[in-house]
Chain A
Amino acid sequence: MPGYSDPGFDTLALHAGAAPDAATGARAVPIHLTTSFVFESSEHAASLFNMERSGHVYSRISNPTNAVLEERVAALEGGAGSIATASGQAALHLAIATIAAAGSHIVASSALYGGSHNLLHYTLARFGIATTFVRPGDVDGWRDAIRPETKLFFGETLGNPGLDVLDIPTLAALAHEHDLPLLVDSTFTTPWLMRPFDHGADLLYHSATKFLSGHGTVIGGVLVDSGRFDWAAATGRTGRFKELTEAYDGFHGMVFSDESTVGAFLLRARREGLRDFGASMSPHTAWLILQGIETLPLRMARHVENTRKVVAFLAGHERVARVGYPELDSHPDHALAKRLLPRGCGSVFSFDLQGSREQGRAFIESLKIFSHLANVGDCRSLVIHPASTTHFRMDDAALARSGIGPGTIRLSIGLEDADDLIDDLKRALKAAAKA
């Protein structure tokens, strides 16, 4: 029908969650660098603590600047709300800790960022939460891994390091068939390239350190809830999510699913997770990430445009054995990428140099524009050679099992002139050949 709809993405990126400041008229979002907020009265204080009124008490739990960021990211993702956290890792931990406990189980993609793999495989295992890792495209493997104590499916929209495209519609349907939510790490794609909730995911998070911020200046995360997963109905059938459907002694006997039909998860995550684990975001960080988000649509378009030019150059170079980018026909998930990521597959990818570890090192050291460091999603172009840095303790066989060769190079393409990036790569490829 003709009629209103929510504003478009670019408008939401600038306006969602923010209005001119009522007290001062400030048009930009003010940075509320304050630990706490004055109560109007003892009665007001009590009602805020008891969730009878909405408002801010203490910046570990909520803050007006952070709230703008939280509402804006939720708006861009099509979610019901979100929580800003100290890092992407904190967002992942908060998601899991809100619904899992000792004895719980997670089914996760095997193609994960190393930090996420560490958390699941080593650290959470120490706290009694087990994880079964499954190749992202092995749907039968995901199904077979489900146990009565499973709480969550988890994967990355674009998996690490090979950019496996997560088949969100298929995995979400499988998860829902078993009364499980699907959580995705959406860092590499951002809502500009893909909105996972539109494809069936229930929860997502970002390392906002990367493209959302976009300038390589701050560490932060955002955990977003679609509001779609029916925790009460799932618990009624399976008994799985009593953390959200039974009285919680740690918050006045609150039953979170009674308090908010679509916001139960975020209520517990904030009222317990931020309160007790305390991995909250600084308002200054929230403000810097908001600055980044204001230009996210412009930056992502340029990231993808530059990446396509660099990919085309590398794919045609004689010293390059392989380029792993899902827009190429040669990528195993090419068809899935065309369906789920029509705007592009981001700007982080890897390629294999022909040659030894030594030649990989020579390539990196010859680059002048690309910065050699352990990050992605910066406006500046970045590079890393896993075999001599992040994975240097592994022999070649172990590297191969991780999908990494001695000549594998990971690039994060920035916003420079594409011709300059290509010239830089040409120089380094020549230097590597002589090493």
Chain B
Amino acid sequence: MRLAVGGREASVYTGGKALDTTLPAIVFVHGAMHDHSVWTLLARWFAHHGHAVLAVDLPGHSGSEGPALASVEALADWLLALLDAAGVAQAALVGHSMGSLIALEVAAQSPERVSRLVMIATAYPMAVSKALFDAAERDPHVAIDSVNAFSHSTLAGKPSHPGPGSWLHGGNRALMRRMQAGAEGNLFLDDFRVCDRYRGGLEAAARVACPATLILGESDQMTSPKQTADLAAALRADVKRLPSGHAVMTEAPELVLAALRQALSPTAIA
């Protein structure tokens, strides 16, 4: 589905079904150097189980027109404008990594529009090392390879994503390279600066009114579970730890589905 958001075209994957805004809505927000396709299985499952699903491509990523936006706050404004454009009054927000910060900021800015908040593979602060920025300045492909290796905890993520026979390391590297190649500038720097510069996380968490869940990878080397205690406390969040690295949706798709079904069920209470 394509929408006009802030005068620019945005692309939204709706899980293989036309969007029906009379159904409870779920918005999936991808992380740095990714697009909607990291959510394919989850988006399809929820779209075929009674939900209106919007897995967005953030500006400057895949199908959504650029340029990429420079801050979590700007991306939160964009996401709210996208909900307006789609005719969605209220939604559950599910974000991964950088996308989890965007979801958090939306839930803080407009609590009335967010029914649930799920932050996957998150941390606050989401600091990025100078070495990684330096590498990305010199050669984004080197930085991508490094992030790709740090993002995975296994050489055998089963049953794989989007299906058997997919090599997760190779698929993720190809996706990140595609995002970089399709961007107007150095998207790697843009996205990781968004993560690194976000300062309002705990204040935002204190303003969140809806039930919140953190889904963390026990072996996450990008956003360590150890860096979530303050965030979890501020959100009064239910915390679920899965045997996975940072690439939780692709390394453990079945476990993430089970965790999300629980987090998004009508009976989930903060």
Contacts and interface: CB of A to CB of B under 8 A. Distances in A.
Please say whether chains A and B are actual partners in one complex: yes
B163 A54 contact: yes
Given A54-B163, A82-B165, A227-B170, A1 B132 contact: yes
Interface stretch (A14-22, A102-110, A129-137, A320-328): A14-22
Nearest to B46: A52
Contacts of A47: 45, 48
Interface of A: 1-7, 12, 15-19, 47, 50-56, 62-64, 66-68, 70-71, 74-75, 78-84, 226-228, 230, 233, 252-254, 258-263, 266-267, 270
Contacts of B257: 53
Interface string B156-179: 101111111111011100110110
B189 to A, nearest CB: 14
B142 A75 contact: no
Given A6-B169, A263-B166, 6 more contacts: A6-B149, A17-B167, A74-B166, A83-B165, A228-B178, A263-B37
A41 to B, nearest CB: 13
A18 B167 CA distance: 11
B170 A74 contact: yes
Interface of B: 13, 16, 35-37, 40-41, 44-45, 48, 62, 131-132, 134-135, 142-143, 145-146, 148-150, 154-156, 158-167, 169-171, 174-175, 177-178, 182, 221, 253-254, 257
For B160, B167, B169, which residue has the most chain A Cβ atoms within 10 angstroms? B167
A2 B131 contact: yes
Given A4-B146, A79-B170, A70 B165 contact: yes
Contact of B146 (A1, A15, A74, A81): A1
Contacts of A270: 163, 165
Contacts of B221: 4
A81 B145 CA distance: 17
Main secondary structure of the interface of B (DSSP, over half): helix
B253 A54 contact: yes
Contacts, number: 166
Contact of A3 (B150, B159, B166): B150
A75 B166 CA distance: 10
A50 B163 CA distance: 12
Contacts of B45: 47, 52-53
12 contacts: A1-B134, A1-B135, A1-B146, A4-B150, A4-B221, A12-B155, A16-B155, A18-B155, A71-B166, A75-B167, A228-B174, A266-B166
Q: Of residues A5, A17, A70, which shows the largest number of chain B Cβ atoms within 10 Å of its Cβ?
A: A17
Contacts of A56: 159, 164
Contact of A258 (B13, B131, B143): B13
B165 A262 contact: no
B167 to A, nearest CB: 4
A75 B36 CA distance: 24
A252 B163 contact: no
B177 A228 contact: yes
Contacts of B177: 228
B135 to A, nearest CB: 4
Given A1-B132, A71-B165, A81-B165, A54 B170 contact: no
Contacts of A258: 13
Nearest to B163: A54
B178 A80 contact: no
Which 8 residue pairs spanning A and B have beta carbons closest together?
Answer: A227-B174, A4-B149, A70-B165, A74-B167, A1-B135, A52-B45, A67-B164, A19-B156
Nearest to B148: A6
B13 A80 contact: no
A54 B155 contact: no
Contact of A260 (B40, B132, B148, B164): B40
Contacts of B154: 19
Contacts of A4: 146, 149-150, 221
Contacts of B165: 62, 66-67, 70-71, 74, 81-84, 266, 270
Contacts of B37: 259-263
Contact of A51 (B62, B163, B167, B171): B163
B167 A261 contact: no
Contact of A17 (B35, B142, B155, B162): B155
A6 B173 CA distance: 11
A50 B44 contact: yes
B174 A5 contact: no
A13 to B, nearest CB: 11
A178 to B, nearest CB: 18
Contacts of B170: 74-75, 78-81, 227
B54 to A, nearest CB: 13
A16 B167 contact: yes
A18 B145 CA distance: 21
A53 B45 CA distance: 7
A152 to B, nearest CB: 19
A5 B149 CA distance: 5
A79 B171 CA distance: 7
A263 B13 CA distance: 16
**Residue of A15, A54, A83, A253 most packed against chain B (CB within 10 A):** A54
A50 B175 CA distance: 23
B163 A267 contact: yes
Nearest to A259: B40
B117 to A, nearest CB: 23
